[in-house]
Structure 1
Amino acid sequence: MRKTLIVLLAVLAAGAAQAQVQCWTSKDGRRECGDTPPPGAKVREIRGAATPAPAAPASPATKGAAAKDAKRGPLTPAEQEQAFRKRQLDAEKAREADAKAQAEAAQKKETCERAREALRALESGVRIARTDAKGERYYLDESQVAAETARARQAEQRACN
């Protein structure tokens, strides 16, 4: 019994809390507030029912599309299915584009890392050996190392920027 009484009082209190509060000036010149003003009084609302904020004004194209949709009414199951499939295709294309972008980024990172490693090897001061057309090994002299280093720097700049 006590629980039902508490619930009933809570419901009544919630209803009273939602009432609008309005203020007006009485015939005596006093300011009075309440939920029901006298007839013909100039009323100023203090606390009213919560109203949602107005949405952003629609563009003319959106207004036309909305009016067109309103005239057509609800979508048929076939139209709903078609819209669903279109959304699926769009999502799949977006996933593919994202995967492609990630693969390109990974490839670029790897190319940059290789170019930096080649530049580090040339700048380390270790003797660099190459093989000629006959298959014989020869070592690069300082001018050849400088030229290779310049090419490696350019390659690193292209790959990493």
Structure 2
Amino acid sequence: MALSASNASAQAIWKWRDRDGHLQVSDRAPPVDVPDKDILQRPGAARGVTVSASAPLDAGTDALIPAPGASAPSTDRELEARKRKLLADQAAQKQAKESADKERTASVKAENCRRARNQLKTLESGVRISRPNEQGEREVLDDQGREQETQRARDLVNSNCN
């Protein structure tokens, strides 16, 4: 009875290599774009089986009978250890990516803060500022335009520097 329970769990394992060459292990079938040559194990295939000339065939099926000394439990432990290592590696990669994204966002925000502060300092200094209009001509900011630009620069400083 114990053997039938272990065979039932063993029958639900698929192993294949993805297009990048990484070994994939799952209880679900691989995607349809995986060629048959890359599928290493299908459900129902015997696990922990060694192929040798002395390994007889079962008369009723084409499945190999495990050779003496082949132990499914050690294979299970090795497989579980590989799964845990793969999951840990994936979690570490995800965390590193998130950390790099946070650093990049913080760097962009700091640069935006620096630029907004410089713009605000220039606007508050009273120096004449010109900008191109819709026709591409230079126009000097009047008091109202300067006040609008100053307020916009203050809003940028508040949103990027806090």
So what's the TM-score if we normalise by structure 2?
0.50
Q: Could you say which residue in structure 1 is the equivalent of 2:81? A: 80
| Count of residue correspondences | 90
Partners of 1:90 and 1:154 lie apart in 2 by 38
Q: Which runs of 5+ in 1 are unaligned?
A: 1-71
Partners of 1:144 and 1:100 lie apart in 2 by 37
- Code of the aligned partner of 2:148: A
Q: Could you say which residue in structure 2 is the equivalent of 1:104? A: 105
In the TM superposition, residue 142 of structure 1 has moved relative to its aligned partner by 1.9
In the TM superposition, residue 84 of structure 1 has moved relative to its aligned partner by 1.0
Q: Which runs of 5+ in 2 are unaligned?
A: 1-72
Residues 6-85 of structure 1 correspond to what in structure 2 (within 5 A)?
Answer: 76-85=77-86
- Code of the aligned partner of 2:101: K
Between stretches 106-115 and 130-139, larger displacement belongs to 130-139
Partners of 2:132 and 2:79 lie apart in 1 by 69
So what's the TM-score if we normalise by structure 1?
0.51
Partners of 1:81 and 1:95 lie apart in 2 by 21
Q: Deviations over 1:84-142 (max 9, x none)?
A: 11111111111111111111111111111111111111112110112222222221122
Q: Deviations over 1:42-89 (max 9, x none)?
A: xxxxxxxxxxxxxxxxxxxxxxxxxxxxxx9xx711111111111111
Larger Rg: 1
Question: C-alpha root-mean-square deviation of aligned residues, in Å?
Answer: 2.2
Q: Could you say which residue in structure 1 is the equivalent of 2:122? A: 121
In the TM superposition, residue 146 of structure 1 has moved relative to its aligned partner by 1.8
